[in-house]
Amino acid sequence: MRMSDVLRQLRQQRTTADARPRLMERYAAFLPVNGDTPNITLGEGYTPLVHARNLGRMIGAPLLHLKVEGMNPTGSFKDRGMVVAVAKAMEEGARAIICASTGNTAASAAAYGAAVGVEVVVVIPEGQIAAGKLMQAQAAGARVVAVTGNFDAALSAVRELVDGTDAAGGLTATLVNSVNPYRIEGQKTAAFEVCEDLGGAPDYLAIPVGNAGNITAYWRGFSEYLDAGLVETRPRMLGFQAAGAAPLVSGHAVEHPDTVATAIKIGQPASGEQALRARDESGGVIEAVTDEEILGAYRDLARYEGIFCEPASAASFAGVRKMAAAGRLDPGATIVCVLTGHGLKDPDAAQRLASPPHLAGPSATELRAALGW
């Protein structure tokens, strides 16, 4: 083959890679977008659905799959909803966007805000968000406000601020938490992708639940594909909260939520009602998993599947493992666990479980000695 042909071929391959479909474009028929909506993208969506053969075998559920949402541009599922929310905010003439966050929403808002050149304000519970997420927001130039309270207090303050400004006629900032309907619209596309990859809906969809936007979004996505005649069934939704922050399990708000999974350290989920509806309509459950079960799942997802997610994400697999052990899942069922965020977000959590490196001098002999070979 001539050199120029090789180059042309390589270029063609690159063009194909560059032509990664834009989330808002590909799913335009299902999204509230129109000709005036800016067609922005950072490459969100199209995340891998990985067949977890090792863990599946270990828990007796061979058709276990993982939806790896940490592969989104800012490392979490939030980007799917944020791209739509920010595009709509721009379409509607917003000059700033604001959110309360346990970290991932903040990182995502900061990135998309930077991309469109709008001011971003993120309000976080002081000292309670993972280091990587805070750094992402700071790196993208967001204004970060840390409040002395938990996420629920931060969200309540931000909502009051936005409503108050709105009422005074001085709309300054668009709220981009998942109470913003465009966030849910964008996030539902993950359910579409799961159906496309499996050739139909799974039997079970397991997902961590915090503020309850994501479970609401997935259920909507599955329902819309059913209504469109693209799938014939919908999954049972299995939502998992951390035991110390499980208001939807106990049936009442948790005043002082507490869990190692800081992303879902939420005592009063804004979309709680919709989550319960998704549970009931799907014949599913919302249950609690302990921090110990979350950390065990977190460790094993990395060790046995090579997928490093953040602790909150592992709640989905922790819950599925627990249900499988209790014989509550059909072994022939297709199960999808959503892994919502990347492990690199929370280096402190990883470090607490890691053993220190072996020390050795820089020679083969010393390496051999250190390894005991």
Nearer to ligand F0G, 28 or 114 (CB): 114
Which residue stretch of 55-63, 135-143, 211-219, 350-358 sits at the interface with ligand F0G (rule: CB under 6 A)? 211-219
Q: Which of 300, 314, 304 is nearest to 342 (CA)?
A: 314
Per-residue binding letters, 17-36, with ligand F0G (x by CB under 6 A):
--------------------
Nearer to ligand F0G, 136 or 211 (CB): 211
* Rounded distance between C-alpha atoms, residue 230 and residue 174, angstroms: 34
Nearer to ligand F0G, 136 or 178 (CB): 178
* Rounded distance between C-alpha atoms, residue 339 and residue 77, angstroms: 9
Site for ligand F0G in 313-332 (CB under 6 A): 313
Binding of ligand F0G by 105 (CB under 6 A): yes
CA dihedral 96, 33, 139, 143 (to 10 degrees): 20
Taking CB under 6 A as the criterion, the residue among 73, 210, 235, 244 binding ligand F0G is 210
Tell me, by CB under 6 A, how many residues bind ligand F0G: 22
Binding of ligand F0G by 346 (CB under 6 A): no
Nearer to ligand F0G, 24 or 209 (CB): 209
Q: Which residues of 248-276 are buried (b: 16+ CB within 10 A; e: fewer)?
A: bbeeeebeebebbbbbbbbbbbbbbebbb
Binding of ligand F0G by 268 (CB under 6 A): no
Nearer to ligand F0G, 28 or 344 (CB): 344
Nearer to ligand F0G, 42 or 360 (CB): 42
Nearer to ligand F0G, 260 or 312 (CB): 312
Q: Which of 151, 140, 153 is nearest to 107 (CA)?
A: 140
* Rounded distance between C-alpha atoms, residue 104 and residue 35, angstroms: 29
Other C-beta atoms closer than 10 Å to the C-beta of 114 total 16
User: How far apart are CB 208 and ligand F0G at their closest, in Å?
Assistant: 4
Per DSSP, the residues of 266-332 read: -SS-TTHHHHHHHHHHHT-EEEEE-HHHHHHHHHHHHHHH---B-GGGGHHHHHHHHHHHTT-S-TT
* Rounded distance between C-alpha atoms, residue 246 and residue 282, angstroms: 20
User: How far apart are CB 224 and ligand F0G at their closest, in Å?
Assistant: 18
Taking CB under 6 A as the criterion, the residue among 188, 341, 346, 349 binding ligand F0G is 341
Binding of ligand F0G by 102 (CB under 6 A): yes
Nearer to ligand F0G, 225 or 298 (CB): 298
Q: Which of 39, 94, 61 is nearest to 202 (CA)?
A: 61
Binding of ligand F0G by 284 (CB under 6 A): no
Binding of ligand F0G by 312 (CB under 6 A): yes
Binding of ligand F0G by 104 (CB under 6 A): yes
Binding of ligand F0G by 241 (CB under 6 A): no
Nearer to ligand F0G, 212 or 323 (CB): 212
Binding of ligand F0G by 263 (CB under 6 A): yes
* Rounded distance between C-alpha atoms, residue 304 and residue 53, angstroms: 9
Binding of ligand F0G by 288 (CB under 6 A): no
Binding of ligand F0G by 76 (CB under 6 A): yes
Other C-beta atoms closer than 10 Å to the C-beta of 8 total 12
Site for ligand F0G in 137-196 (CB under 6 A): 178
Instruction: Confirm if 307 and 56 have CB atoms less than 8 A apart.
Output: no
Q: Which residues pair with 121 in a beta bridge?
A: 98, 143
Nearer to ligand F0G, 47 or 211 (CB): 211
* Rounded distance between C-alpha atoms, residue 203 and residue 234, angstroms: 7
CA dihedral 187, 193, 194, 195 (to 10 degrees): 120
* Rounded distance between C-alpha atoms, residue 298 and residue 313, angstroms: 8
Residues at the contact surface with ligand F0G, assessed by CB under 6 A: 76, 78, 101-105, 178, 208-214, 263-264, 310, 312-313, 340-341
